Amino acid sequence: MLRNGPDAFGWVTILLHWTIAILIAGLLVLGFVMTRPDIDPVLQFDLFQWHKSFGFTALGLAAIRAVWWLAGRHPASVAGLSTPERHASFAVHILLLCLTLAVPVTGWALASASTLDIPSFYFNLVVIPHLPLAKSAVAEALWTTAHAVLAYGLAGLVLLHAGAALHHHFIRHDAVLVRMLRNRWRDG
């Protein structure tokens, strides 16, 4: 089924989750490589444009994900989680949701505030307008720092999140990971 059920994630949730996960991984790699100091300038220009196009895609999907999360039902927690564990996982998930929105928005802001004034040409199809921010070196630097800090923060949180999922699967042998891989799950 597409929508989340009382004890299972729907396919929309699952698809959004993994698509956004892959995008985040790719964007982190792109972001790291494209900011290396001795990179060839043509390659750097191209990587930045790919990064922006995939970044806007991640933003769009994260927005859809947020709406889907707010509008839909949430499956009950997997049995065996203590109250602090449930609260911690909830907090991490909310934080991930917020960061998947905040990171691309700060990226959009840095491109918008840059005195370079390079347009965002989404996969060379459509121009995405700049945010209405004043352009200056200071503004660009501030948004760049915000973008980098939040992005690497998100990376750390993703590692924590993925590590926890693997722990649940391989150590606890519960359904936490499996129910984000397929729609129906069975108790152990």
Partner 1 sequence: MSVRLTTLTAALTALAGFALQVSASEAKAPTLDDAAGRYDIDGSSQINFKVGQVGGGGISGKFTKFSGTFQLDRGDISKSVVEFALFPETVQTGEPRIENFLRSTAVFDTASYPKIVFRSTKITRTGENTAEIEGNLTAKGTTRTEHFEATLTEWNRRVIGFRIQGGVYRTRYNMSVGIPIYSNVVQFDMMVNGEKH
Binding site for partner 1 (CB under 8 A): 40-42, 45, 49, 115-119, 121, 124, 127, 129
CA dihedral (115, 110, 144, 118) positive or negative: negative
* Min CB(143)–partner 1 separation in Å: 16
Q: Quick one: 40 or 187, whose CB is closer to partner 1?
A: 40
Q: Quick one: 68 or 122, whose CB is closer to partner 1?
A: 122
Q: Quick one: 102 or 109, whose CB is closer to partner 1?
A: 109
Q: Quick one: 3 or 130, whose CB is closer to partner 1?
A: 130
Please report, for residues 36, 96, 188, the alpha-carbon distance to residue 59 in angstroms, rounded to integers and kept in the order given: 24, 13, 36
* Min CB(118)–partner 1 separation in Å: 7
* Min CB(178)–partner 1 separation in Å: 44
* Min CB(3)–partner 1 separation in Å: 39
